[in-house]
Structure 1
Amino acid sequence: MHPPVEKSPAITAAAAIRHGFFGRRGGVSEGEFASLNASRSVGDDAANVVDNVHRAVMALKGGPIEVALATQVHGTHVHIVDKAFDLQHRPEADAMVTNRSGIALGILTADCAPILLADPKAGIIGAAHAGWKGAVGGILADTVAAMEQLGASRANIIAAIGPAISVENYEIGEEMAKEIRTRFPDAADFIITDGWPKPHFDVPGLVLAQAKSLGIGTVESVGGCTYANPDLYFSHRHSTHNNTRAGRQIALIARG
């Protein structure tokens, strides 16, 4: 039985593109990492992680294909997955793009926003990890540019923003708010101060606005707030507030 998965209607309708945003259910991990933890660096048993990623891949219903994963560092580097890509050595990157078939691009998150992208006409796909640093730094724009480098057209790109922490649950400090306003003024409108004693930051809202301003053809939001739904998703902030460790959920996209 496949693990539960959330999908973008627009990408689902695209020919020869398979994708999914997976939560924390449907895997074999136990305890704090129950049950579909996809990260090997949080303290979970490595064999469980391998099994969980395999389960997610098989839920795409495209067969047992390989998965490209990066070492995510909250930056804006985009890695092109070409024929020379070594699946055993993860590059430091927070986004990947490819025109290869038979391989899935994977992004791990636990509050940050996973973004899956596809230009079905050109056969180009992408996946990006947008924490607050990546979002304000322009990780989405850089991912779109890398897809265009491979032959994609932004008017044909479908972008789906997956489950992430909502503005209601993402309180930030005054120093962080000042840094964003000073260094990234285009993101300042997404610092919300009304209704809370401390500022909150709307990362999914910022990414959504960026996607629309970039001229991406279709933009969708998928899933709920990771913090508010700890039974459905891993949330680093929720785990921190409850003195536990957080696993990581995986988002996957593959072409034909």
Structure 2
Amino acid sequence: MLEKARAQGIRHGYFTRVGGVSSGIYQGLNIGTGSSDDQTQVAENRRRVADWMGVPSTHLLTAHQIHSPDVVIAREPFPGERPRADAIVTDRPGIAVGASTADCGPVLFADVEARIIGAAHAGWKGALSGVLENTIAAMEGLGARRERIVAVLGPSIGPENYEVGAEFVARFVEADANNIRYFAPSAKSGHAMFDLNLYTVDRLSRAGVTADGLSRCTYAEEDLFYSYRRTTHRNEPDYGRQISAIVLETE
């Protein structure tokens, strides 16, 4: 994983829903500013995450995520509204960059030697449209080298719980015929089970970085993770978000 980075002044965390102050359907560490949760509780949850990361709350940065391939470079806290993007990279110590998720894949990146880090929100749409490769390219623009970059996919929905329709499969196969390998038969006629985890890790590997994944399913592990799909299946009105974050520690 990112053990080498941790030993060289790069702190990271794939946070669960445990340890927060939110209640009800948001029970736990909901950091979702886009949720309908009490925003004072969300702010306290984010403060707790920032405290663990060793930064002020103002220096825990997440973007306004839109399922895009877009990446921003952060060298200071965002002034005003958060940028609309799905990945953030930085070369500045004390700036924690993160991705908020509730089934989509959070990917943390680090080039230990260059001391450049990144965090990407990679759902199927972002992964298919290139957010992972764009994050790597943005890191290279700051001086990283892709052969030194380690990228690790955090908790996301597992293939046994990600059922999709025929149009979804067709979209991926049209992009690359080899993508059919990421789909398995479903018990429901005309549907398939999609392996977002394997697809994400394979795209990272093909991009030339060292890639791995935690293989933790947000849908199945309800005590630990929020899940958009689980909420949808239960007809609940909203859902929380967990965060994965990384920071260059100040010397």
How far the C-alpha of 1:14 sits from its partner, in A, is 3.9
> TM-score if structure 2 supplies the norm length?
0.92
> TM-score if structure 1 supplies the norm length?
0.90
CA RMSD of aligned residues (A): 1.7
Aligned in 2, Cα 1:74/1:63: closer, same or farther, shift over 3 Å? closer
1:76 is aligned to 69
What's the CA shift string for 1:117-159, capped at 9, x where partnerless?
A: 0111101000001100111112111100110010001111111
2:95 is aligned, of 68, 88, 103, to 103
How far the C-alpha of 1:172 sits from its partner, in A, is 0.4
Matches within 5 A, 1:89-238: 89-193=81-185, 197=189, 198-216=191-209, 218-222=210-214, 224-238=216-230
How far the C-alpha of 1:186 sits from its partner, in A, is 5.0
Which ranges in structure 1 are unaligned for 5 or more consecutive residues?
1-7
What percentage of residue pairs aligned between the two structures are identical?
41
The alignment partner of 1:163 has SS state of coil
How far the C-alpha of 1:12 sits from its partner, in A, is 5.1
1:29 is aligned to 22
The alignment partner of 1:52 has SS state of helix
Q: Which whole-Å CA distance do the structure 2 matches of 1:199 and 1:180 have between them? A: 12
**Alignment partner of 1:46 is 2:21:** no
Q: Which whole-Å CA distance do the structure 1 matches of 2:2 and 2:134 have between them? A: 24
What's the CA shift string for 1:74-110, capped at 9, x where partnerless?
A: 0100111134x52432101000111111110011000
Q: Which whole-Å CA distance do the structure 2 matches of 1:223 and 1:103 have between them? A: 27
**Alignment partner of 1:251 is 2:244:** yes
Aligned in 2, Cα 1:102/1:70: closer, same or farther, shift over 3 Å? same
What's the CA shift string for 1:179-229, capped at 9, x where partnerless?
A: 22113445332122276642111111111111111221x322125100011
Q: Which whole-Å CA distance do the structure 2 matches of 1:155 and 1:9 have between them? A: 15
> Which shifted more, 177-186 or 236-245?
177-186
Q: Which whole-Å CA distance do the structure 2 matches of 1:10 and 1:209 have between them? A: 21
- Could you tell me which amino acid in structure 1 is paired with residue 162 of structure 2? Y
Q: Which whole-Å CA distance do the structure 2 matches of 1:9 and 1:136 have between them? A: 25
The total of aligned residue pairs comes to 246
Matches within 5 A, 1:7-22: 8-10=1-3, 13-22=6-15
The alignment partner of 1:212 has SS state of helix
Query: In the alignment, is the contact (CA less than 8 A) between 2:6 and 2:12 conserved in 1?
Result: no
- Could you tell me which amino acid in structure 1 is paired with residue 206 of structure 2? S
Q: Which whole-Å CA distance do the structure 2 matches of 1:78 and 1:97 have between them? A: 7
How far the C-alpha of 1:11 sits from its partner, in A, is 5.0
The alignment partner of 2:93 has SS state of coil
The alignment partner of 2:14 has SS state of strand
2:52 is aligned to 59
The alignment partner of 2:21 has SS state of coil
Q: Which whole-Å CA distance do the structure 2 matches of 1:235 and 1:45 have between them? A: 19
